[in-house]
Amino acid sequence: MRTATAVSRGYIIATWIKAIGRALDAAGCNGAALLAQAGFDLHDLDGPNARCPLINNTRLWELAVAATGDPAFGLKVASHIKHTTFHALSYGLAASSTLHEAFERLRRYCHVASDAVAYEFSRCSGGYELIIQPTADVALESMDMLVAAHLRMCRSLIGRDFSPLSIELRRPAPARTEDFARLLRAPLTFGAARNRLAFDRDSIERALEGGNPELARYSDVIALQYLSRIERDDIQARVREALLRRLEGSEPSQEEIAEQLYMSARTLQRKLGDSGTTYKELLDDTRRALAFAYLSAPQHSVNEITYLLGFSSGSCFTRAFRRWTGQSPSDWRAAAARRARNGRAPSVPLNTDLRRHAG
């Protein structure tokens, strides 16, 4: 697990996590237990608008690859994506009149699924290129899943035999590449400078038989509404990010965080009030989410977590944790490990802070 100053930031839509859980079950693993070990509670994944912190997703990928022993597991998650996984964006993509329109729609509305990835789509020599650019610390398997998901979209719209001209992946070559070749079916380069898919011009510009402009426009409206709800919570996201940078070693004051965000403490207080929360609640929620993530990783001692979360002493951390869960950190860690071994999800909701403020 990373330290608090280098932790993954950002969000992903909860339906993405549920797809990983289904893929784990299909691989013969206990998806619920692994989600619990990564710091998720299945109740927090309910609802089409729920979002989850990226740090837990990164941990889940680590556990999933270890449990399956499959370096191509990320690619295989794509087959467990449902038509509602990416909210209205999924319908907009399916209703696009051309692949060109679909990729433009993906570029515009990708933050419906996550704010950790951005896209570039443009003409290039020989046709078109799609570049997938992480904007946060994203697991390699997340990028594998996205590449495979976008190819599945293309094949569902234009035909099962479709393949891009080439695929470049930034990730290093895995120990076994057979499944990458079988599933992607395109000239493949590992260790590339960027994640890039190259397409021929005819395939990208060809009219699609299932195009539905009216449905696509309606889906765009819903996607925009969803993104606007996320943006209303932007001040909360900025405060959480500032807290992640400043928590280590001591508790930052509201004045310190306001200064870091280039505003007065009074302005910050007003903005947070308008968004339905307070600085104290965000500080508590951020510490709580990180505490579960760190306690789920065995390499961190309770004393180290106390420091990473900015508590002045172990007793302060223990009091806060008892308030959250009714248990001490050590007791919760031991119980969570037992539940994971027995294939049961934890009884404590781990991401209520994000659920409460989710669009």
| Predicted pLDDT at 357 | 30
| Predicted pLDDT at 78 | 95
Cα(249)–Cα(343) distance, rounded to whole angstroms? 35
* Pairing mode, strands 188-189 and 166-168: parallel
Cα(167)–Cα(188) distance, rounded to whole angstroms? 5
* pLDDT tier for residue 165 given thresholds of 50, 70 and 90: very high
* pLDDT tier for residue 348 given thresholds of 50, 70 and 90: very low
| Predicted pLDDT at 119 | 94
322-342 burial, b at 16+ Cβ within 10 Å, e below that, comes to eebbebbbeebbeebeebbee
Q: Three-state SS for 243?
A: helix
All structural domains of the chain, each given as residue ranges with its CATH number in brackets, are 87-231 (no CATH), 232-357 (1.10.10.60)
* pTM, 2 dp: 0.67
Share above pLDDT 90 across residues of the chain, in percent, rounded to a whole number: 52
Give the tens place of pLDDT for each residue, 104-138. Answer: 999 988 888 888 899 999 999 889 999 999 988 88
Cα(201)–Cα(127) distance, rounded to whole angstroms? 4
What is the separation of C-alpha 341 from the centre of its chain, rounded to a whole number of angstroms?
25
User: What one-letter code names the amino acid at 118?
Assistant: A
124-145 burial, b at 16+ Cβ within 10 Å, e below that, comes to eeebbbbbbebebebbbbbbbb
Name the β-bridge partners of 134: 117
pLDDT at 343 over 80: no
Q: 183, 72 in Cβ contact below 8 A? A: yes
| Predicted pLDDT at 340 | 56
Give the tens place of pLDDT for each residue, 205-264. Answer: 999 998 888 888 888 888 878 887 776 657 887 788 788 888 888 999 999 999 988 889
Cα(136)–Cα(149) distance, rounded to whole angstroms? 20
